[in-house]
Structure 1
Amino acid sequence: MPKLYLIPNTLGEQEDPSLSMGSEVKDALAGLSHFAVENLKQARRYLVRWGLRERIDQSEFIIHNKKTEIESLIEAESVFKSGNSIGMISDAGCPGIADPGNKLVQLAHRLNVEVVPLSGPSSIFLALMASGMNGQAFAFSGYLPREQDQRISAIRDLEKRSKTEGSCQIFMETPYRNMAMLEDLLKYLSPSCKLCTATNLRTADELVISRNVAEWKSSKKPDLNKKPTIFLIQA
């Protein structure tokens, strides 16, 4: 019976994948000949880092991202119906979390294909662990709106929700807009609100800062520009 393997990736491209993932990931990769990937070049490099260069020429790759979603789902359905399994490889972290993989998982469930999630690093959960914020009640909101008025409204709504629920609110931003996001958070959050930035997780220059907004305003700001960052707040 075919299966859909959800294969995690490292958070940093230079990281040895065996340091953050078990042998089950390498075993799954070695046994598959069909992969669904966001970016073909990155997927090939990932296989090489596992010491599986030979799998590149022996495998078929389905490019699955927002631009190719319709075509890739049709192709994946054909692979499943022919009795073959697929390994879905995320560009970074875990498939289906803050990436387009969920539609492929939905397809697998509709076709009664077994879905096999494999353990790996998640920047969202690593950031929450390192933040010191509430790990019992939290929510991830993905990307906040780009438009200024909508972004300000979203920031205030998240703080209000955090205060009402006692929860940690987690979100992210396109790396080149990180500094603008930080400035907006410091401008529109209450001074007592806790704010954490978790940057370049699982890399040599990983940086996690967690303090209230008043302390942030009186401290030197980190350089978050073009660096993958998770933002967390708790009122």
Structure 2
Amino acid sequence: MLFIVATPIGNLQDITLRALDTLKSVDIIAAEDTRQTQKLLAHFKIKKQLVSFHKFSRENKLNQIIGLLKSGKNIALVSDAGTPGISDPGQKLVAAARDNNIKIIPIPGPSAITTILSTAGINADSFLFVGFIPKKKGRKTFLKELSKISVPVVLFESPARVLKTLKDIREHLGERDVIVGRELTKIHEEILSLPVSQMINYFVDNQPKGEFVIVIT
């Protein structure tokens, strides 16, 4: 069986009891970054065999993991943070498992998407999640298409590009209100809700650090 295990997005205490039980019981853990996952396992005193599976993994690594699953091994798939397969390369392994009739069991847990939306104070009955927007090719077209969306839009961004992205939002979507979550659930967590021009000014004066989630309302 393949277990899709959500892990904390920052605060390790956010892991679920079911996730811990699963990580303790499986034969192998397939991790996006084995070093990052080893820190999580060490914190909870879990010792397991780790194999890497990330966006640069080749077909033979995918086939190796599928072979282990078909031989009867129980494997947990984890990402660096949050839920595997959501803006994450894990979907390739899940798709291959489905193609091979391997049972897939989700172990839900922390999500940066729902975490930021829960603080937004907006109608989030419907929303659009777009992951990371294109860095260069197709970026302008992508943003123009977002301007046609009538529901809140959620996206991820890096500290190096967050200021440019906010400026591009203002240029292509107009003066919209945005909610920005930085380092969610971590010690230096910061959640701001401002018109996009004011948000730009804030990050001009305060150097962006950490991982960002943005909601365009």
TM over 0.5: yes
Q: Per-residue deviation at 1:224?
A: 5.8
Describe the shift of the 1:102–1:156 C-alpha distance in structure 2 as closer, same or farther (beyond 3 A). Answer: same
Cα distance, 1:176 vs. partner? 1.8
TM-score when normalising by structure 1: 0.83
Distance 2:152 2:39 in 1: 35
Tell me the equivalent position of 1:106. Answer: 95
The DSSP-based 3-state class of the residue aligned with 2:178 is strand
Match among 35, 40, 44 for residue 38 of structure 2? 44
CA contact (8 A) 1:21 1:119 kept: no
Q: Does 1:71 align with 2:54?
A: no
Paired residue type of 1:7: V
Which structure 2 residues correspond to residues 1-235 of structure 1 after superposition, within 5 A? 3-12=1-10, 15=11, 17=12, 19-52=13-46, 55-56=47-48, 59=49, 61-147=50-136, 150-162=138-150, 167-191=151-175, 193-213=176-196, 215-216=198-199, 220-221=202-203, 223=206, 225-234=208-217
Aligned partners of 1:177 and 1:225 also within 8 Å: no
CA separation in 2, counterparts of 1:50 and 1:78? Answer: 29
1:120 Cα deviation from its structure 2 partner = 1.5
RMSD: 2.0
TM-score (norm 2): 0.90
| Mapped contact 2:33–2:52 kept (Cα < 8 A) | yes
| 1:214–1:34 distance in 2 versus 1, CA, 3 Å | closer
**How many aligned residue pairs are there?**
216
The unaligned stretches of length 5 or more in structure 1 are none
The 3 A distance-change label for structure 1 pair 134 and 152 is farther
Conserved 8 A contact 2:5-2:77:
yes
The amino acid across from 1:130 in the alignment is T
